[in-house]
């Protein structure tokens, strides 16, 4: 029986728009943005930011050096927000509904201070709520010091939430992240960026419940 549902953010809760992010970083002067930006796990200073090795201010300074001019924090924020294509209302409604049904809803995301400053603001859903309104807890890679698919990140959540893996479901759009969770005994649901996963989620919850009741 599932008690906790772990949600990835980009590609699951929000629709990723990687080409838009690439164009925004190029507009800042980062000519090799395509090589530096990844849809799942960032590299270089982008990865250092999301794994907590450098701060947002360190990132701003280092990116300024790369592009050859002094960038503002707001310019960096605008470029990072390029990753967000859409925030589908159906996803937020489903997360709110799951909490009302007694599931613990937890975010597990490779992310950074720029993205979270917007996600955790009242501008997030267009109705005056931050993402926190739809969550019981949030685990961000830059605060945990590790990124998916690193087992350290998953273990931080397991320990922090006192999870039993067999009672936990993880939803992500990254195959490597899904495999890492499976290896720890967590139930998983692999989705595609932008798809309506709400029906699939209900199907897998029903299937797991039936299996649990059968074993009883």
- Which of the following is catalytic: 8, 56, 172, 173? 8
Strands in the chain per DSSP E = 4-7, 15-16, 84-86, 104-109, 137-140, 168-172, 187-190
| Number of other CB atoms surrounding residue 42 within 10 Å | 20
Catalytic residue flag (residue 8)? yes
Phi, psi of 138 (to 5 degrees): -140, 135
Query: Could you give the CA distance from residue 101 to residue 93 in angstroms, rounded to a whole number?
Result: 12
SS3 call for 203: helix
Q: Which residues contact 106 (CB under 8 A, 6 or more apart)?
A: 4, 5, 6, 7, 135, 136, 137, 138, 139, 157, 161
Q: Give catalytic residues, as residue numbers.
A: 8
């Amino acid at each position: 029986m599932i008690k906790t549902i772990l949600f990835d953010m980009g590609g699951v809760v929000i629709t990723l728009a990687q080409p838009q992010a690439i164009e925004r970083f190029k507009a800042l002067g980062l000519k090799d943005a395509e090589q530096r930006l990844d849809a799942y796990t960032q590299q270089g200073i982008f990865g250092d930011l999301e794994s907590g090795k450098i701060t947002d201010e360190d990132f701003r300074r280092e990116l300024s050096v790369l592009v050859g001019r002094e960038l503002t924090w707001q310019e960096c924020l605008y470029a990072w927000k390029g990753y967000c294509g859409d925030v589908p209302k159906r996803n937020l409604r489903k997360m709110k509904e799951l909490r009302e049904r007694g599931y613990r809803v937890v975010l597990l995301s490779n992310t950074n201070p720029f993205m979270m400053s917007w996600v955790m603001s009242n501008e997030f859903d267009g109705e005056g709520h931050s993402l926190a309104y739809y969550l019981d807890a949030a685990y961000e890679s830059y605060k945990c010091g590790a990124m998916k698919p690193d087992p350290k990140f998953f273990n931080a959540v397991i320990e922090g939430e006192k999870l039993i893996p067999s009672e936990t479901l993880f939803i992500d759009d990254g195959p490597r992240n899904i495999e890492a969770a499976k290896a720890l005994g967590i139930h998983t649901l692999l989705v595609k960026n932008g798809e309506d996963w709400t029906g699939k989620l209900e199907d897998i919850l029903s299937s797991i419940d039936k299996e649990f009741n059968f074993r009883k």
